[in-house]
Structure 1
Amino acid sequence: MFGDNSTLRNPDLRACGLAPSMRILLVYPNMAGMNMLPPALGLFTSILKSAGHEVALFDTTNYPDLDNGFDSDKSKAEHLNARPFDDSLLRQHDRHSPAPQDFAQKVASWKPGLIAISATEDMYPIALRLLCALPKDRPRVVLGGVFATFAPELALRLSQGLIDHVLIGEGEDSLPEFCRRLEKGQDPAGTPGLWSLNPKISSPLPRPVNTETLPLPDYGLFEESRFLRPMQGKLWRMLPVETIRGCPYTCAYCNSPAQTEAYRQAGHRFFRMRSADKVRAELRHLAGAYGADSFYFWADSFLAYNDRDFAAFCDMYSEFKLPFWIQTRPETVIEERFRRLKEIGLLRVSFGIEHGNEAFREKHLARRVSNRTIVERLAILNRLGIPFSTNNILGFPHETRQLAFDTIELNRQVLADGYNAYSYTPFHGTPLRAQAEALGFIKPDSLASCITKPTILDMPQFSRDAIEGLRRCFVLYVKMPKERWSRIAQAEKLTPEGDRAWQELRDECREKYMGFDLPPAISEVPKK
């Protein structure tokens, strides 16, 4: 971040002898182990550069001490949710200096005219820690992202004056417009989607962007280690590619339905698919400019494609045949489609199961699919030899420990390569967040935490410790014989005795039941 790649200049302007219009410092609050590159930052860099601005980046991913050494991906490997991997290359750019101090030094030395932060709700506190290190005569600060969109007033109020503005909705059009107004000395209040407390501004959602006209992303500001992602026990140079923006489903734990409804009320359609030609151009760009050896297709549900668009994607991607990862829903599995995806390079799939009780899943999560369908559809991937993982959530409002065991039982019927168990995270903008507040399980101003950390809900029927204990033992219950369940129950206790039982059972499960091979050591970084 502080080397040659921390600043991006516009070579065309400099060749003409013109200075950049404005210096903009992009800030990405993030924790170690959250390794996927953020597409939004790549797009903003490209868009702002094209507008003539000078851009730099402060990314906290490589500050492992920022969150007391917590590493999300390593935590998953420790809990047997994922294969163990050698993270030496991911750690090659780690910094052990205080991130807020380094941030303040970056701002003081580079002197940006604007600090633009893209933060999720669980990473928002990191942004505040950085901003607290700045002097009172700091640059103007604007915040964007899903949290800012669904809780703009809260994001401004909790910052206690550290954040001046919020941009709600998609920022690919509104952020450059905001910068243009500042550069020209115009009142920024007319920027679509702008919110502030002083003066009081609450603009409506901007129009959804035309994803067909967006430029190619520019990831040149990121450190080399940020291009790497662990998958199936090894590191891939895996870059994200957006294929679909929005989701046609209405799951109660997700904010996509709220985005869809907000844009519908404003007279717009939020769900958009990118054409195969646009995706092809981006794939060529990422393979050529950044040496991608694999891709992560960025879509809430990849198989929301209709038959025509699915065929167009497959025909297009057959030119590349690099390994790729997708996420989708079990009920979208059709054998002919997955046979075709395997032919063109499908590496792995992530499926959202979330809960194993059909009635609970339909009533509280708005997921209308039978357990039989889930088991039968996922068995298709076993027959085709396609690895996949399941995603499950523990600690929903209304859930009990007994109901959570229905999720365990369903996963025992599925032959997955990985079983993820996350704590329920009540993000603002989701229907279940409103329920949790109404039930008194969380306060309206409380902030959601990372999905790989303990829940923030305080429920009388399913305590925080009970949820966390079951979460760490989830894979043990799924993979080990039921004769061992009484011992596993002891490992749920968050006590020294329970910790010892958990470590003993985890090692036994890894050795006897997981089929994990330790990855070979990696001695050199994959080259661009």
Structure 2
Amino acid sequence: MKIAFVNIGGSMFTFHNGIAALSAYIKHHSEHEVALIDMIGHPRPLKFQHQVEIIQPDVIAFTAMTIYWPNVRALATRAKQMSSAKTIVGGYHPTFAPEECISHPAMDVICRGEGEEALLAFLNALERGEDYTRIPNLWVKKDGNLYKNDIRPLIANMDELPFWDRDLFNYGSWYDAMPTSLSDLDRPERTVTLAASRGCYYDCTYCSNEPLKAMYGGKTFVRTRSVDHIIKEMKMLKARYNPDLFEFQEELFVAHLDWLEEFADKYKREIGLPFNISYREELARTKNMELLAKAGCNSIAFGVECGSEEYRKKYLTRRMSNRKIEEAFDRTHELGMKALSFNIIGMPFETYDLIQETIQLNRRLQADYLQWFIYQPYPGTILYNICKENDLLLPGYTSSYISLRPGIKLTHITREEFQQCMEDFMALQREQQGYDWLDIAAQSNETLVNVRYATEEERYDIMDLYNQTFQRDHGINRWEWFRRNPEGAEKTPSPSPTGRTSSEPR
């Protein structure tokens, strides 16, 4: 049985943790063949068709965040027009919008929740000619019937899972050209990503963890790998890829003191490289932070999200005070680690003054890296339901994480005020770190790539801001630059994190 995973995304980052985990599990437990159809950047149908013709898969597997569901639909439709392969989609969107996904005529099966065991059972059943309509986690369309199966228990022992399959992505060949880690955009570093756990203890209303916990019936949701299992993988990664830095990409790095004490000792002694994590301000207690610093932690990413204590508590279920946030950043800096600040604007009922509170809090925090995103409502989350109940949802789906348009109807702030808040946030970024949101977007290429798939109004918004940034960074209007350089876009200077360009026009 041959399965082809389709990697869809809006940026230049090829490696996909979820696909790598699924591929590793299938290879570890079976003889099924696994292939990758890489559609990163933008999903060109002809390229997709060519890859399907070459691979000739029995199953074409998609993974879909909500923002990428329109692209998945289009490619699945193309697959059905040219291939007899079964189509299956897993990930966030089919988990929380299952009816929408399974009702699409080009989709045969959807997978809800964690997919390792369900996908393997599906492939085994297909290969043996057995019934696959009763596999837990799967919704299946067959012979005009729809079979909706319950969710299986979570995999409890993380050490039983094989290491991510990086070979599927030809990790070693593209790795050298991979962009730097988030905390060090101004200097090149070879960064390898991994995860120490799955799940999160908290219930932020904009995040999937709260509905996921509800879907799994309150069972143990946060599961952590043993220190020895992680060290074993990192030794392998260190030998194969010679990284400068490791980055843990789970929502929340492990907080148990016993685990941290063991990790700090063994990591420093056996790995000895800097690493990055994500953490909660409430967990930034002295002992935890000292252990992270002892182990060699390079940077900690904190979700600040909003500068108003009242709004955070009422709408985001984030109950920490601003003082607690400032103490977390201060403690991080005092121990010689970098502190990263991530924020959201354009949330339900947010006003101009509320966003300005967020900007002013970030001014006080003096983060080493500051980023903000425009809120996008995700089905299944509490905040999505609030938007739905108050008629704040917009038709369709945003085409990118990096969007310059509000993700919902803004009822308490004008478009002009919202634009001013974005400009104020970018000004603070330039003031504190020398580059801003659009520089980072240009580096990942996601904003410009998604112009192709944006609405007409989105195109105008994106290109207008891009033109403004080009003028600011290069001291010349973009169209005037093209007039002077008729050879075209291949030599177009790109904004760099430092604000410098090697091909600046004279």
Describe how 1:127-138 pairs up with structure 2 within 5 A: 127-134=72-79, 135-138=81-84
The equivalent residue for 2:449 is none
Question: Measured at CA, do residues 117 and 496 of structure 1 come closer, stay the same or move farther in structure 2, by a change above 3 Å?
Answer: closer
* Pair 1:473 & 2:424 matched: yes
Instruction: Name the aligned partner's letter for residue 452 of structure 1.
Output: I
The equivalent residue for 1:45 is 23
Q: Supply the RMSD in Å over aligned alpha carbons.
A: 2.9
Cα distance in structure 2, aligned partners of 1:199 and 1:238: 47
Query: What is the count of residue pairs matched by the alignment?
Result: 442
The equivalent residue for 1:240 is 193
Instruction: Name the aligned partner's letter for residue 373 of structure 1.
Output: K
Describe how 1:345-494 pairs up with structure 2 within 5 A: 345-442=296-393, 446-453=396-403, 454-463=405-414, 466-477=417-428
Cα distance in structure 1, aligned partners of 2:429 and 2:121: 51
Q: Give yes or no for contact 2:112–2:137 (8 Å, CA) kept in 1.
A: yes
Higher-RCO chain (CA-CA 8 Å, sequence separation at least 6): 1
Q: How high is the sequence identity, in percent, across the aligned residues?
A: 27
The answer for unaligned runs of 5 or more in structure 2 is 433-459, 476-495
The equivalent residue for 1:195 is 139
Cα distance in structure 2, aligned partners of 1:29 and 1:375: 38
SS at match of 2:377: coil
The equivalent residue for 2:211 is 258
Cα distance in structure 2, aligned partners of 1:339 and 1:423: 34
Cα distance in structure 2, aligned partners of 1:496 and 1:206: 46
User: How far did residue 274 of structure 1 move?
Assistant: 1.3
Question: Measured at CA, do residues 202 and 499 of structure 1 come closer, stay the same or move farther in structure 2, by a change above 3 Å?
Answer: closer
Cα distance in structure 2, aligned partners of 1:476 and 1:120: 31
User: How far did residue 499 of structure 1 move?
Assistant: 7.8
Residues 58-79 of structure 1: CA deviation (Å, up to 9, x unaligned): 1222x3xx2xxxxxxxxxxxxx
* Pair 1:26 & 2:15 matched: no
The correspondence for 2:52, drawn from 107, 116, 138, is: 107
Q: Give yes or no for contact 1:168–1:205 (8 Å, CA) kept in 2.
A: yes
Question: Measured at CA, do residues 164 and 300 of structure 1 come closer, stay the same or move farther in structure 2, by a change above 3 Å?
Answer: same
Cα distance in structure 2, aligned partners of 1:516 and 1:128: 35
Greater per-residue helix proportion:
2
The correspondence for 2:266, drawn from 310, 316, 327, is: 316
Question: Measured at CA, do residues 242 and 462 of structure 1 come closer, stay the same or move farther in structure 2, by a change above 3 Å?
Answer: same
The answer for unaligned runs of 5 or more in structure 1 is 1-21, 67-97, 482-492, 509-514, 522-528
Describe how 1:196-211 pairs up with structure 2 within 5 A: 196-197=140-141, 198-210=144-156, 211=158
Describe how 1:82-161 pairs up with structure 2 within 5 A: 99-134=44-79, 135-157=81-103, 160-161=104-105
Cα distance in structure 2, aligned partners of 1:40 and 1:501: 37
Please report the TM-score for the alignment, with normalisation by the length of structure 2.
0.80
The equivalent residue for 1:225 is 174
* Pair 1:305 & 2:246 matched: no
* Pair 1:167 & 2:111 matched: yes
Cα distance in structure 2, aligned partners of 1:46 and 1:244: 17
* Pair 1:343 & 2:289 matched: no
Residues 328-378 of structure 1: CA deviation (Å, up to 9, x unaligned): 122221344334323332222211000000101100110001111111221
Cα distance in structure 2, aligned partners of 1:350 and 1:364: 22
SS at match of 1:132: helix
SS at match of 1:264: coil
SS at match of 1:52: coil
Cα distance in structure 2, aligned partners of 1:169 and 1:442: 25
Cα distance in structure 2, aligned partners of 1:125 and 1:496: 22
* Pair 1:56 & 2:35 matched: yes
Cα distance in structure 2, aligned partners of 1:176 and 1:344: 37
Question: Measured at CA, do residues 270 and 422 of structure 1 come closer, stay the same or move farther in structure 2, by a change above 3 Å?
Answer: same
Q: Give yes or no for contact 2:263–2:295 (8 Å, CA) kept in 1.
A: no
Please report the TM-score for the alignment, with normalisation by the length of structure 1.
0.77
Q: Give yes or no for contact 1:36–1:240 (8 Å, CA) kept in 2.
A: no
Cα distance in structure 2, aligned partners of 1:140 and 1:460: 44
Residues 488-511 of structure 1: CA deviation (Å, up to 9, x unaligned): xxxxx9699988876677789xxx
The equivalent residue for 2:223 is 272
Instruction: Name the aligned partner's letter for residue 36 of structure 2.
Output: L
Q: Give yes or no for contact 2:255–2:283 (8 Å, CA) kept in 1.
A: no
